[in-house]
Structure formats: C-alpha cells, structure tokens
Amino acid sequence: MKSTPAEDVSERMQAWIRLLILVLVSSYAIVASVMTSPERRVQPWALDVLTYFACYTPVAVGLLYVVIRHPGHYPARRIFGMANDFAGLAFAIIAGAAAMLPTYAIIMWVTVGNGLRFGSRYMIAAATMVQVTLAVITVLTPYWRANPVLVFTLSLTALVVPFYIQTLLRHIEQARRDAEEANTAKSRFLAQASHDLRQPVHAIGLFLNSLTQTGLAPEQRGIVDRIDRSLQGVAELFRSLLDISTLDSGAVTPTLEPVSIRQMFRLLEQQNQVSAGWAGVDLRFVRSDRVVLADKALLLTMLQNLVSNAIKYAPRGRVLIGCRRRGDRISIWVVDQGAGIAAEHLPRLFDEFYQVRKLGSADTQGVGLGLSIVQRLGALMDLAAEIRSRPGHGTAVAIHGLNAAAAVPPVVDRGPSYAVPLHDLQVLLVEDDIDVLDATAHLLRSWGAEVAAWSIVPPHPQRCDLIVTDFDIGGGMTGADCIALHRQENPPPMAIVMTGHDELAIEEIIADPSVLILKKPVQPAELRSAIAALRGRRGQLPTG
C-alpha cells in the first residue's frame, strides 16, 4: 500500500530505534547483573538476555532492510515489529526480575513511539500488547506475583499515559485542521478581494490615460500624474495580495527554462522607469549576457518585488541591479543607497506583513508582503534569498542558487513597441464590466484600431484580427470560450486575456502559448506593447 513520505520516514526511524533498544537493554542487562552480583560478575540470566537479543538482532536488521527497500503502509509489518519488541522486553524482565524492572520505561517508549508515529490505532494496539506483556511477566515471575500493587500501578500507567497522549493528539489535530481552514479562508478572501478590486482600479487607469490625451493644462496634468502615481501604489498592493493568496493555495508550480538575464533586466527597466522617475531614483542595470535556468514569470515577480522595494526605500538615491557568478551558480543582487535597516529587524523581514516602522519615519506604500513572496517563490525553485543592510549605508538583497544554462535565441529589439500605430487593426473586445469595456474601447480607438465591443461572448464568430477579452465574462462563459469560438477562423485571430486571477492558472486553462495573459490592472503601455508583440510574431508590424 502507498504511504506518504512522512510515514516512510517515521517507519525507518522506528526500525533504527529498534536496533538502539537492543543495544540499550543489552548494555543495561550486563551492568545490572554485575551490580547485583556479590562477585561482581555477569550473571547467567544476563547471558540469557544477551543470547536472546543476539538471535533477535537479525530479525531487527531484516525489518530495517525491508522498510528501506520496500516503503509503504503495511499494517501487518508494523504489528509484527511491535509484537517482537514487546516479546524481547518481556523476556528481559522475566529473566532479570527486579533488576530489569527499569526497562519498563522502554516498554512505555515503544508504546508511545508507535502511537505517535503511526496513529491512534497503533497506540491502542500497543497499549493492548502492554497489558498482555504485563500479564505474561506476572505469571512467569515470582517477584512480580509477590508485588500486586506494583503490577497494578504499571498496568494503570500503561493505560492512562497512552489515553492521555491520544486525547492531546486529537486536540492538536483539530487545532491543525482549524488553522488550515482559517488559512484557506484567508487565502480565498485575499484572492477574491484582490480580484474584485482590480476591476475598478483597472477602469480608473484606462480612463486616466484617456484623460491625459484631452489637452490638459500643466496644473491639471500634474494632478493627473499624482493620481496615476497613487493608483500604481494601489495596484502594487493588489498584486502582492494576489501573489500571497496564490502561494497559500499551493497552485504555483515552476516550469524551468533558459532565461536571459539581459532580457529580464530590460523588462524590469521598462516596468520601473516611471516609478523610479517619480522617486528621483537613479536606476541602473549592469549588463549581463548570462542565461539561467528558472521559471521566467516567477523570477520576474521576485526581482520586481526587490526592485520596487529598493525604489520605495531609497528615494533620490541610486539602485543598482546586477549578477555575480560562482562556479555554475549565479546570484542576482539588488543594491540601494537607502537609509538601511537595523540588525534586529533583519531576521524578520521575510515574515508576512512585517514592516520596519519608526516614529517620525516617512510613510511608504505596502503591506510587508514583498520579501515574503520573494522567499516563498525562491523556495519553489530551490533558490535562497539573502539580505544585508546597515543603517546609513543602504541595503543589498540577493537571490542565490540560479543554475547557469545554455544561451537562449536573441530577441530582436524593435524599439518602443508601444509607439506602433494600430490603424486597420480589427479588434474584438469582450468585457462584462461596462466601465472597463468603455474605457478599453476608447483607448484602442484612440490608437487607431477598429473596435467591436461586446459585454458577452458573441453568439457567432466575429471577423477580427485580435481578441482582447476579460477571463470572467459572466453567464458561465470565460475568455477561453471566446477564444475557442474563433479558433476555426483561418488564420485564427491573435488573442490577449486580461485577468485579475493568477496568470499561471489561466495559462493552464487556456493551454495555448500564443495567447498573452495580462494581469489587471493593465497599464495602457503594457497593453499596447502586448499588441505590438503579437503583431510582430505574425509579421504584421507596420513601418509607419
């Protein structure tokens, strides 16, 4: 029968402990016989114990061998081991009488150990075997028959201790289940709240972009820029909440592939140049042609959290991102010239929701999830995060353990793809939120695209070059259904899915690598770059 890895470890440990018990009881028998002998010699009964255990040793070694070579949940094997353990201990006590009485502690050790390792049924079985063992010892040992109160005390102990431990185990198990349910409920709430709140933030961002194109006065444009900056902070909060809830759900499985450090740094620069400009940060990347083996999306999320933190806590300073190689392992460092962090805070910085707050310090956006996300994503790829900091000298955070990989094909740099016009591009836009639908349609039309806007999945395929769809459309329909409806066209239209869910989960559902997944709230430049990237794949990139 199949068993869990934890069960296999427990059974191996119990098999090793069986050998340890043989050594302990044999050693004690020799010492006890010498100490109770007037001649200070090993008594015959001790030799009998040693002979018995010498014969039992091959059985114990055989059990260990079988457990290692054939792991699994085999109740008969466990019961056989327990029965032989109690038989050997009973023989030792019968042979040594009063001198071997202290080995009763090992009987209790075997009883409790089997119950804790294998569960309540084995605790009950072991407790029952103890009663049988005590009965046999009493019948065959005059010393025990002459001390009925002692026998009663030992028998009662063998009943009360396992029962009490079993009661505690039930309470602990119930507390564990309650904690898991609470954690699941927390993750579900965070994911749902993040998803629901992303919709209005997404719509605000699109309307805000449209507002900037209406000929605002300088003062008005300054106000709009401040709104946009605040909106980016809210978007970062939602992204962190969704990331942590996705990790809690256990739904993240890394897919390792060769990842270009240069391409990764280029993406990070594009994503952070605006926020760095707002903060007055000199954001610099050390050019590197190295390639690592990693999950590109997860590694980008880790680095984005580190760079975002560095910009946030080093205003008007410098942030440097680069990598170092030691052997076949590569580390990526993010170094800032911020105020630094006191040593007492460093061990807790990777805890969820932990933030360094001091009276009189400037407020910073965030909820203290960034470094926790970095550490947990790193653990999924066997990577380690390290942080070094000194007050007044800045902070350096590293991701260690990246394996070097073969080079990936170079990516043709087409320049600022968001500047490419969309004239003559027919877009099918599907979004059930009317505000988001209107804002996205207005944005696409302002770029020159012809837009057919639907709040539901169209009943029939629509003629289009590109599908831009939300994932949750309502009525039991999703963006995957909308894309599938149009896959019969020749050629099938390009597709972009915008969602508030985790991108990896949506990628698995759609199961089409040609479809781009964008996480809400989506920046206009991000959407336009995605459209240009899809057109570039098909050779549709205009020259003017």
CATH number of the domain where residue 309 is located:
3.30.565.10
Closest CA to 86 of 21, 31, 26: 21
Residues 242, 260, single domain; the answer is: no
Q: Which range of residues forms the domain containing residue 63?
A: 5-146
Residues 394, 311, single domain; the answer is: yes
pLDDT in tens, 242-297: 666 666 666 677 878 888 999 889 888 877 887 888 888 999 999 888 899 988 87
Residue type for 394, please?
Answer: G
CA triple 124-128-131, angle to 5 deg: 145
Residues 388, 431, single domain; the answer is: no
Do the Cβ atoms of 94 and 141 come closer than 8 Å?
A: yes
Residues 291, 375, single domain; the answer is: yes
Cβ within 8 Å of residue 425, ≥6 positions away: 448, 449, 450, 465, 466, 531, 535
Q: Are strands 477-478 and 494-499 parallel, antiparallel or unpaired?
A: unpaired
pLDDT in tens, 469-497: 999 887 888 899 899 888 877 788 999 99
Q: What share of the chain is helix, strand, coil (3-state, %, to 5)?
A: 60, 15, 25
Is residue 187 a part of any domain in this protein? no
Is residue 261 a part of any domain in this protein? yes
pLDDT band at 15; cut points 50, 70, 90: very high
Do the Cβ atoms of 531 and 428 come closer than 8 Å?
A: no
Is the pTM above the cut of 0.75? no
Is residue 137 a part of any domain in this protein? yes
Residues 138, 233, single domain; the answer is: no
Q: How many domains does the chain have?
A: 3
Rg (CA), the chain: 34
Domain boundary among 356, 375, 404: 404
Domain boundary among 348, 371, 404: 404
Is residue 216 a part of any domain in this protein? yes
Residues 14, 70, single domain; the answer is: yes
Is residue 189 a part of any domain in this protein? no
Residues 13, 110, single domain; the answer is: yes
Residues 270, 216, single domain; the answer is: no
pLDDT band at 333; cut points 50, 70, 90: very high
Residues 215, 300, single domain; the answer is: no
Instruction: Give the phi and the psi of residue 396 in degrees, each rounded to 5.
Output: -125, 125
Is residue 444 a part of any domain in this protein? yes
pLDDT in tens, 194-217: 667 677 777 888 888 778 777 788
Residues 265, 350, single domain; the answer is: yes
Q: Are strands 291-294 and 257-260 parallel, antiparallel or unpaired?
A: antiparallel
Closest CA to 348 of 321, 322, 368: 368
Residues 236, 284, single domain; the answer is: no
CATH number of the domain where residue 526 is located:
3.40.50.2300
Domain boundary among 404, 428, 461: 404
Q: Are strands 472-474 and 318-326 parallel, antiparallel or unpaired?
A: unpaired
Residues 277, 243, single domain; the answer is: no
Beta-carbon neighbour count of residue 293 at 10 Å? 15
